[in-house]
Structure 1
């Protein structure tokens, strides 16, 4: 090759893709999806904040009915949709995490949803909650703690933000479990 000749390079489109002049049966489409993770992390953080705030009875609130709508729609359904979008973009770990915690938010809100009858099952004739309710909540949170530890170990290879987020959730679930364990019978 002489110095006057240039090396052959593939032509690129305005979007930066290699130009394809072949004539396939279907046109070549290059799709770009937005990153759904920020929305998933925001809805996750909002749901966990509400669960934690109502768990410690912040501002003296005893009835957690306000959090049900947020947990079902923003925390649950929104995270589930984010999980589907992560699946479309090819992020298997994001799919598993967001769909799992979307299910967590929906299932946790179902505990307090009056129509589910879960609270009614733990209420005695006088209307007071039995000690079994705190024990059941502690076991429920313990199961999610185990799953969160597994996700935390897996997230070490992902990003440090997600690792810190899951580590904070590990600590939160441990504290909630300890709080629920105080009410356990000997």
Structure 2
């Protein structure tokens, strides 16, 4: 902190400059959640069999830029805000979607007969990360807990479906993904609306503080 030097005059007579307000950083959470939800919704529609597999081609650019790049930017901003959970989550799922796009564009065809196992291993890694993020989310709010628990189940069923080449498991994972996306959209909607209106319009169900 800077100090104000005084001469023979009393400090009471010395004018002080008004404090410069800190430059606030916008909450990157709604952006990250929206990018995650949008990409998850489209791919989950494909996995659930609601739309044809050809729609998956539309997921790749969406995964690269909105689900991937936007989430990565949100995660980097969370680092600046000092939010370990948000930084870890968004800097995990942003690169997940980027890697998903690159895998499907450049590497899936090279996996040959091992494509199912390759996809299974890819999904298994993120199942593990999502499982412990779901545990960590218990200290945040009910909306985020719902997102991460549902996402962990989504990854689990998709992983089982990939390893076992079981379409039924993949469809269950797809439906869980649709629900996850809807809850993530709600959470994004609630945070950005509450922040804009400067009051609680939509609840996110904060967890009770620990004693």
For the aligned pair, the TM-score class normalised by the smaller chain equals 0.7 to 0.9
CA contact (8 A) 1:64 1:112 kept: no
Unmatched tracts of structure 1, length 5 or more: 1-20, 124-129
Aligned to 1:107: 99
Separation in structure 2 between the aligned mates of residue 55 and residue 87 of structure 1, nearest angstrom: 33
Which digits, 9 at most, give the CA deviation of each residue in 1:53-95, with x for residues without a partner? 2334432224622111000000000001111111222212111
2:57 to 50, 65, 70: 65
* Number of the residue aligned with 2:26: 34
Structure 2 stretches of 5 or more lacking a match? Answer: 1-14, 167-211
For the pair 1:174 / 2:156, whether they are aligned, the reply is yes
In structure 1, the residue matched to 2:177 is none
Q: Does 1:149 align with 2:131?
A: yes
Residue in structure 1 matched with residue 118 of structure 2 by the alignment: 136
TM-score, length basis structure 2: 0.66
Shift of 1:171: 1.1
3-state secondary structure, aligned to 2:26: coil
Check conservation: 2:71, 2:93, Cα contact below 8 A. Answer: yes
Distance 1:63 1:120, change over 3 A: farther
Q: What residue is the counterpart of 2:74 in the other structure?
A: 82
Query: Scaled by the length of structure 1, what TM-score is found?
Result: 0.74
Offset from partner CA, 1:8-36 (integer Å, 9 cap, x none): xxxxxxxxxxxxx756xxx7441222211
Would you say how many aligned residue pairs link Structure 1 and Structure 2?
A: 152
Pick the structure with greater CA Rg: 1
The alignment's C-alpha RMSD in Å is 2.1
Distance in 1 (CA, whole Å) between partners of 2:16 and 2:149 is: 50
CA distance in 2, matches of 1:69, 1:45: 15
Task: Name which of structure 1's ranges 97-106 and 40-49 shifts more when overlaid on structure 2.
Answer: 40-49
CA distance in 2, matches of 1:134, 1:58: 21
- Looking at secondary structure, tell me which structure has more helix per residue: 2
Paired with 2:108 and 2:122, the residues of 1 have a C-alpha distance of: 14
Large movers: runs of 4+ above 6 Å? none
Higher relative contact order structure (alpha carbons within 8 Å, sequence separation ≥ 6): 2
